[in-house]
């Protein structure tokens, strides 16, 4: 294995692969930073340009785009609260809070370095453990996938702040929105009211842009918040080595969580980021900072997001099963180049496989260089006059929503979700649980019904792994609520206006 990896590194250090890696990283960051363009869309858009390339060079370019786009979504999430990708929703929770405190440099610096470290760790797991990990993931029953989704939904207690009821209601709203469209099992239409575009349900990207970006614009305009945030001095605002060292445990833990969850086909970076963020908050010595500008929160979200890239590549290369939407596009690209992903590819073309492994390691180093060089430029968005910035955000929201399916209906949906997000924020309801409910609702519903049709309702408790994850989900939701109730009972009563308690 070591000889093959060294051979792959040697082949990747030629000028053509290096140009492909650098180009892919830059393009990927641009794609990820643009609300409306997901990593899968970015890879799909570039596939036609690889027809004349060799298979290895084509895959190196596409994988580099994947890695760059997975990080790029955090840039706009941190600076303007407009997550470029679904997984960047979690980064925005604390990243944008840090920006509002004038600490955007800290958030951006942590984001790029932690993303690189997690990407390298995820790639190392891919290199050394891909075959046994894929064998475990492919044997997962729908009951286990349902339990993962429920465990993800249990993380709303981390997004609740001081009012878990509002977070719970927001998640229920997301689950309800997810029921609109075509039934995933029977094919019947639900709650479409004869509106044809609703047969596909609400697309995630317009909802994401509306709930986070447009709602922020509406809220700021209503409150007339046009003052530019004064940043700390850039030199002093960037993280120091000591800051990174303090994040070592949360980075390692979150990277492994992201990689493991990324291996499960269909789970993806969004679930990985939410679960990692929830676990990091529970294990933190300062859980009260989460949601209010926690550097640990940014690190946990970014580590899980980048770690999931290596995880999603495991079932792709070893079994020919896509672990994410982007790897599904990569399968198509491989077949265009007459390659069949799966165990046989390791025997028939090991040079290609280890060339991809080496390219992923080098791409993460290039990501660090490009990210650090560009961060000082991207941070300038925070000093753009608010009237100009709000106009640009609205334009990006319209273009990004339209680009998903070339449909004005998606633009109207984006506007509707923007109004919904504005109303939720006005009454202090968190918007992240709405996205969580929309993402996990489909996974939970589909696998719940499949499991029951296959083995009956008791299968969720008769399978040990499913039962264990459901128990953990229950504990992760109930324990924080009991702790909060215990703290409220211990707190002294507040004195009334006349001195009465």
Return the top range by mean pLDDT from 154-168, 213-227, 268-282. Answer: 268-282
How would DSSP label each residue in 332-355? HHHHHTT---SHHHHHH-HHHHHH
pLDDT, tens only, 278-302: 888 888 888 878 888 888 889 999 9
Burial label for 228, CB within 10 Å (0-12, 13-18, 19+), is exposed
Residue 233 confidence (pLDDT)? 42
Is a pLDDT exceeding 80 seen at residue 352? yes
**Which residue would you say has higher pLDDT here, 270 or 376?**
270
Among 120-124, 155-159, 165-169, 178-182, which stretch is predicted with the lowest mean pLDDT? 155-159
> In this structure, how many other beta carbons lie within 10 angstroms of the beta carbon of residue 124?
16
CA dist 438 and 424 (Å) reads 16
Q: What is the mean pLDDT of residues 232-240?
A: 60
Is a pLDDT exceeding 60 seen at residue 76? yes
Place of tokens 């447009």: 214
Among 479, 434, 107, CA closest to 283:
479
Among 20, 26, 18, CA closest to 378:
26
How is residue 210 written in tokens?
A: 């509306």
DSSP state of 229: P
pLDDT, tens only, 164-218: 778 788 888 988 998 888 887 777 888 888 888 888 888 877 887 788 778 878 8
Residues 6+ apart with CB under 8 A from 6: none
Among 75-79, 293-297, 346-350, 470-474, which stretch is predicted with the lowest mean pLDDT? 346-350
Residues of the chain with pLDDT > 70, as a percent, come to 82
Residues 6+ apart with CB under 8 A from 51: 336
Residue 252 confidence (pLDDT)? 92
Residue 225 confidence (pLDDT)? 67
> Helix (H, G, I), strand (E, B), or coil: what is residue 181?
strand
Calculate the average pLDDT of the chain: 79
**Which residue would you say has higher pLDDT here, 491 or 106?**
106
Q: What is the mean pLDDT of residues 325-342?
A: 75
Confidence of residue 496 (pLDDT cuts 50, 70, 90): very low
Residue 423 confidence (pLDDT)? 92
Return the top range by mean pLDDT from 50-59, 185-194, 243-252. Answer: 243-252
Residue 362 confidence (pLDDT)? 92
Whether this prediction's pTM lies above 0.75 is answered by: no
Residue 377 confidence (pLDDT)? 73
């Amino acid at each position: 294995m070591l000889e093959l990896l060294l051979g792959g590194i040697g082949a990747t250090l030629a000028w053509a692969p290096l140009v492909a890696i650098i180009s892919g990283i830059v393009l990927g960051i641009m794609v990820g930073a643009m609300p409306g363009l997901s990593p899968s869309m970015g890879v799909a858009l570039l596939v036609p340009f690889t027809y004349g390339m060799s298979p290895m060079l084509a895959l190196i370019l596409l994988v580099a785009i994947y890695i760059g786009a997975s990080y790029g979504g955090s840039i706009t999430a941190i600076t303007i609260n407009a997550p470029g990708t679904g997984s960047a929703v979690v980064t925005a929770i604390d990243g944008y809070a840090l920006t509002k405190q004038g600490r955007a440099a800290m958030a951006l610096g942590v984001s790029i370095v932690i993303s690189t470290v997690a990407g390298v760790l995820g790639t190392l797991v891919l290199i050394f453990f891909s075959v046994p990990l894929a064998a475990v993931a492919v044997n997962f029953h729908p009951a286990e996938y349902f339990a993962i989704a429920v465990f993800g939904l249990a993380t709303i207690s981390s997004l609740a702040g001081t009012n878990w009821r509002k977070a719970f209601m927001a998640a229920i709203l997301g689950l309800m929105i997810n029921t609109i469209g075509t039934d995933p099992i029977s094919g019947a239409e639900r709650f479409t009211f004869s509106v044809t575009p609703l047969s596909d349900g609400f697309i995630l990207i317009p909802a994401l842009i509306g709930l986070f970006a447009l709602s922020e614009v509406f809220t700021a305009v209503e409150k007339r918040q046009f003052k530019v945030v004064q940043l700390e001095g850039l030199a002093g605002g960037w993280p120091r080595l000591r800051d990174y060292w303090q994040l070592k445990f949360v980075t390692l833990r979150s990277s492994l969580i992201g990689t493991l969850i990324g291996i499960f086909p269909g789970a993806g970076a969004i679930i990985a980021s939410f679960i990692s963020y929830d676990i990091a908050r529970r294990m933190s010595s300062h859980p009260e900072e989460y949601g209010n500008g926690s550097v640990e929160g940014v690190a946990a979200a970014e580590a899980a997001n980048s770690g999931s890239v290596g995880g999603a590549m495991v079932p792709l290369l070893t079994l020919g099963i896509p672990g994410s939407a982007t790897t599904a596009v990569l399968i198509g690209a491989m077949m265009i180049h007459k390659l069949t992903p799966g165990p046989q590819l390791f025997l028939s073309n090991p040079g290609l496989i280890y060339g991809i492994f080496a390219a992923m390691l080098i791409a993460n180093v290039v990501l660090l260089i490009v990210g650090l060089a560009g961060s000082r430029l991207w941070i300038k968005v925070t000093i753009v006059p608010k009237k100009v910035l709000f106009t640009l955000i609205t334009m990006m929201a319209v273009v990004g929503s339209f680009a998903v399916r070339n449909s004005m209906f998606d633009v109207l949906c984006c506007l509707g979700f923007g109004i919904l997000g504005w109303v939720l924020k006005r009454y202090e309801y968190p918007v992240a649980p709405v996205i969580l409910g929309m993402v996990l609702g489909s996974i939970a519903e589909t696998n719940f019904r499949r499991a029951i049709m296959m083995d009956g309702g008791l299968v969720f408790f008769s399978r040990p792994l499913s039962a264990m994850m459901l128990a953990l989900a229950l504990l992760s939701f109930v324990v924080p609520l009991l702790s909060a109730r215990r703290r409220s009972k211990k707190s002294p009563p507040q004195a009334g206006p006349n001195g009465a308690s």
